[in-house]
A and B are shown apart, each in its own frame.
Chain A
């Protein structure tokens, strides 16, 4: 018997998933499969679009089914062809490009598109969006936004749902001032109540995003491109980029054009078939089932499964009964779980609530007749698996409501997983159950990474990764294999930085080679040597066993290697200040060594560029300056303005402070370079707002301390850590921050990434409020590091290794 033809219109998460489900049921033997996709790629994970926007992933990184997948599975893919019409009588689909395919069974998964609410001026004459206005739905949208953002200053995202908030966050990463405008009175009103929405707003505002709720946009200003928005209340907001993330509309026109019943979307029965044509199935956002539309991935994966079972006839009774909406997600680093209703709707509904605003924790449960009908968990979602299960199964709840929110007397994880029913869904994005994970482990997967790759569990929003890992480990009876993970400090040693530091101390490992020997896998990773050297010097300070081969060349010769193998020399110049004699001496050295380039740096110093390695020691001796440390992962320099000495506006002695900072921290190693600045007033002439640590005088001796600023490849205004009452306090808190960063940041992780990862609240709690009681330790550690620093340019007269500064050694003799 010849194969039937299965044609799938739509190559998004629903279409591709549906085909995977068909293949998993032996569909390749039954069908020749043909897919049409509007976009010119394989299927990608739309949930991760914000990562394209903020540059942490490229298209490859979020691709779930690369083009090779289609070929390997014998699927014909027409990527970049949009099917416009179905000739149901002839059983043929016709694409806008003229491509025609005959079908026996057809599946429509055209998904949805961004909804652009009616606003005056949102479109230009030809009907397209005004330049600067973007939908937020596809990789192409993201690429256009990224391009446009290069020349934009203020970006506004219309829509404060999950997608909108993620987009707004990405805009800060792209260097724009970011605003969110939301129609409802609070953010994410579908998932959150007023209190949780308010709490989320505060958290988000702490990330330098301005949130405007209860605002209806009525007009997009600007004649030929966006210049601002006008709102119903008459106010305006100037901006040059607008992202519209105000919801989605199903792409159901294909149903209309082909004579299928379409209400809000294409109407289907419980087998996911069109009610008009049993050879046509509809899955995903373009399907309307029992009057409801679903936009989350979990329901559409359930639908895909029903479709697959039915079309392959592995289960002719397969039926979809609708989904109870419960979701776990991560919005801007805040973990959230939401299920059912967000507010009580019945007088007898029982509300159990807990709030801890300072930590951003919020928990609310709505109980009706002893069963969970709604819930919100924010900040701490450790109880989410239990609650979501109780919600989905309509299970009776324990009488002690407190135990719904907190682990009292902590039942061990083992008991929990033991008791967890097999059909409990662990990964909601990809619809993976405990049974699915168990089957994968039984089939031989022996690490959480293998399970995640094979089942897709944890590969959606990622919120359940921890749970999947724990479950796999429990299933394996603790025999889970460790995966090389992004969390390791260096790839070949399976420890995160704090664990590695503890291990290094416990074992007394003071050299890089000893760390590899005792903790590694027998292999010495060249690229990891400087990372370990940095960690060890932070831990051991003066006691560090300094193996020179572990250093990057810059740190071996105390200069910065250039593209042609020459080096640059930057003498220390605290606060950008030197005497006329010193300036003359630099000039004389530049002449004497015929320096190809003399350049003033961004850090207010003089750079002598293009020097031979062999000349370095003589140059240092002739200069008579201390090293400027312009080559390494370390404290670099502290810029300053003139401050109070001559400036008419100065409020604080920024120049003196910068000099005191430089003399204190010079030579301090750190995970990535530390560039500092002091500004004598908020006019910010020395750019202190965009430094790793910046101090800004505001009068009365006070200094504002900004951390995590950047004005390089990334542009980010620093977070205001605190305001110090005087210079001594400012120095102390700045010092603590730097030490906390040194101990906790990943290798090469700049402060701007570190701050986003750890969060301002936590950093402030630790270094200002001493919430963990470690401030005294941080202070002492920094003092010890400072005491252990030695000016490396002293090696001019006492080299540490053979031929340290020799660029070429002549052979002794030829035979």
Chain B
């Protein structure tokens, strides 16, 4: 694996359809394991009021924050309920049942 890529652990650490928060060095990242067996990684806290996103509800690739129901698209990080809110996402993938992430932020393009 290339430098800067981090092995989080077995995909079974995250139940299907849920998220968990991981620590990579100083950084906390929310990682989601969708019903379609994809993984996505985003910033850990909601940009609205810092709700723990890993505790949110998933529907497809839509994530709903547990505190005030703000929704986001996991693929792009874009806010879907409030377009001015966006999430930092991180490239994440699964190889041989193991989750990998590259902790380099991809900033969502906030819509005007």
Residue B105 at the A interface, CB < 8 A? no
Specify which chain B residues have a CB less than 8 angstroms from the CB of A809 in the assembled complex.
8-9, 13, 20-23
Residue B58 at the A interface, CB < 8 A? yes
Partner of B1, one of A527, A548, A803, A815: A815
CA distance A525 to B14 in the complex (A): 20
Contact B20 A526 (CB under 8 A): no
Contact A812 B7 (CB under 8 A): yes
Contact A549 B8 (CB under 8 A): no
* Known interface pairs A552-B57, A809-B20, A812-B7; A526-B62 also in contact (CB < 8 Å): yes
Contact B21 A807 (CB under 8 A): yes
Specify which chain A residues have a CB less than 8 angstroms from the CB of B35 in the assembled complex.
513, 524, 549
Specify which chain A residues have a CB less than 8 angstroms from the CB of B57 in the assembled complex.
526-527, 529-530, 549, 552-553
* In the complex, per-residue mask of B57-85: 1 if CB is within 8 Å of any chain A CB, else 0: 11110111011010100000000000000
* In the complex, per-residue mask of A531-558: 1 if CB is within 8 Å of any chain B CB, else 0: 0000000000000000111101100100
CB contact list, B1-39 vs A, under 8 A? 1-9, 12-18, 20-25, 28, 35
Contact A565 B51 (CB under 8 A): yes
Contact A527 B59 (CB under 8 A): yes
Residue A811 at the B interface, CB < 8 A? yes
Contact A548 B18 (CB under 8 A): yes
Q: How many of A's residues come within 8 Å of B, CB to CB? A: 33
Contact A561 B66 (CB under 8 A): yes
Residue A802 at the B interface, CB < 8 A? yes
Contact B12 A802 (CB under 8 A): yes
Contact A549 B17 (CB under 8 A): yes
Contact B66 A564 (CB under 8 A): no
Specify which chain B residues have a CB less than 8 angstroms from the CB of A547 in the assembled complex.
17
Contact A525 B59 (CB under 8 A): yes
CB contact list, A379-433 vs B, under 8 A? none
Specify which chain A residues have a CB less than 8 angstroms from the CB of B52 in the assembled complex.
561, 565, 807
Residue A810 at the B interface, CB < 8 A? yes
CA distance A550 to B56 in the complex (A): 10
Residue A347 at the B interface, CB < 8 A? no
Contact B14 A553 (CB under 8 A): no
CA distance A564 to B52 in the complex (A): 8
Residue A776 at the B interface, CB < 8 A? no
Contact B6 A811 (CB under 8 A): yes
Q: Determine the residue in chain A with the shortest Cβ distance to B81.
A: A527
Q: How far is the CB of A192 from chain B (nearest CB, A)?
A: 45
Contact A526 B22 (CB under 8 A): no
Specify which chain B residues have a CB less than 8 angstroms from the CB of A526 in the assembled complex.
56-60, 62-64, 71
CA distance A640 to B66 in the complex (A): 32
Contact A815 B5 (CB under 8 A): yes
CA distance A812 to B5 in the complex (A): 12
CA distance A801 to B9 in the complex (A): 16
Contact B16 A808 (CB under 8 A): no
Specify which chain A residues have a CB less than 8 angstroms from the CB of B17 in the assembled complex.
547-550
CA distance A85 to B85 in the complex (A): 51
Q: Determine the residue in chain B with the shortest Cβ distance to A565.
A: B52
Contact A561 B22 (CB under 8 A): no
Contact A813 B6 (CB under 8 A): yes
Q: Determine the residue in chain B with the shortest Cβ distance to A523.
A: B60
Q: How far is the CB of B10 from chain A (nearest CB, A)?
A: 8
Contact B15 A549 (CB under 8 A): yes
CA distance A802 to B9 in the complex (A): 12
Specify which chain B residues have a CB less than 8 angstroms from the CB of A801 in the assembled complex.
15, 18
CB contact list, A768-815 vs B, under 8 A? 801-803, 806-815
Residue A67 at the B interface, CB < 8 A? no
Contact B7 A811 (CB under 8 A): yes
Residue A150 at the B interface, CB < 8 A? no
Residue A757 at the B interface, CB < 8 A? no
CA distance A651 to B5 in the complex (A): 72
* Known interface pairs A529-B59, A552-B57, A813-B7; A808-B25 also in contact (CB < 8 Å): no
Partner of B6, one of A524, A528, A553, A814: A814
Specify which chain A residues have a CB less than 8 angstroms from the CB of B22 in the assembled complex.
808-811
Contact B28 A814 (CB under 8 A): no
Q: How far is the CB of B98 from chain A (nearest CB, A)?
A: 8
CA distance A575 to B22 in the complex (A): 42
Residue A592 at the B interface, CB < 8 A? no
CA distance A530 to B17 in the complex (A): 13
CA distance A52 to B35 in the complex (A): 42
Q: How far is the CB of B91 from chain A (nearest CB, A)?
A: 14
Q: Determine the residue in chain B with the shortest Cβ distance to A801.
A: B15
Partner of A549, one of B6, B7, B18, B62: B18
Partner of A803, one of B7, B13, B45, B58: B13
Specify which chain B residues have a CB less than 8 angstroms from the CB of A528 in the assembled complex.
59
Specify which chain A residues have a CB less than 8 angstroms from the CB of B69 in the assembled complex.
527
Contact A527 B64 (CB under 8 A): yes
Q: Determine the residue in chain B with the shortest Cβ distance to A548.
A: B15
Residue A648 at the B interface, CB < 8 A? no
Contact B18 A565 (CB under 8 A): no
Contact A802 B14 (CB under 8 A): yes
* Known interface pairs A802-B13, A811-B6, A815-B6; A549-B23 also in contact (CB < 8 Å): no
Residue A358 at the B interface, CB < 8 A? no
Specify which chain A residues have a CB less than 8 angstroms from the CB of B25 in the assembled complex.
811, 814
Specify which chain A residues have a CB less than 8 angstroms from the CB of B63 in the assembled complex.
526
Q: How far is the CB of B53 from chain A (nearest CB, A)?
A: 10
Specify which chain B residues have a CB less than 8 angstroms from the CB of A808 in the assembled complex.
21-23, 28
Q: Determine the residue in chain B with the shortest Cβ distance to A807.
A: B21
Q: How far is the CB of B92 from chain A (nearest CB, A)?
A: 12
Q: How far is the CB of A513 from chain B (nearest CB, A)?
A: 7
Q: How far is the CB of B79 from chain A (nearest CB, A)?
A: 14
CA distance A549 to B35 in the complex (A): 9
* Known interface pairs A549-B16, A549-B18, A811-B22; A563-B59 also in contact (CB < 8 Å): no
Specify which chain B residues have a CB less than 8 angstroms from the CB of A529 in the assembled complex.
57, 59
CA distance A561 to B55 in the complex (A): 9
Contact B66 A553 (CB under 8 A): yes
Specify which chain A residues have a CB less than 8 angstroms from the CB of B16 in the assembled complex.
549
CA distance A549 to B14 in the complex (A): 11
Cross-chain pairs A/B with CB under 8 angstroms, 11 sampled: A524-B58, A529-B59, A550-B17, A553-B66, A565-B52, A802-B14, A807-B21, A807-B52, A812-B98, A813-B7, A815-B5
3 closest residue pairs by CB, A with B: A549-B17, A526-B59, A524-B59
- Partner-B contacts on A (CB < 8 A): 513, 523-530, 547-550, 552-553, 556, 561, 563-565, 801-803, 806-815
- Partner-A contacts on B (CB < 8 A): 1-9, 12-18, 20-25, 28, 35, 45, 49-52, 55-60, 62-64, 66-67, 69, 71, 98
Given A801-B15, A808-B22, A813-B7, 15 more A-B residue pairs with CB atoms under 8 Å apart are A526-B57, A527-B71, A529-B59, A530-B57, A549-B17, A549-B18, A553-B56, A565-B50, A565-B55, A802-B12, A812-B8, A814-B7, A814-B24, A815-B1, A815-B5
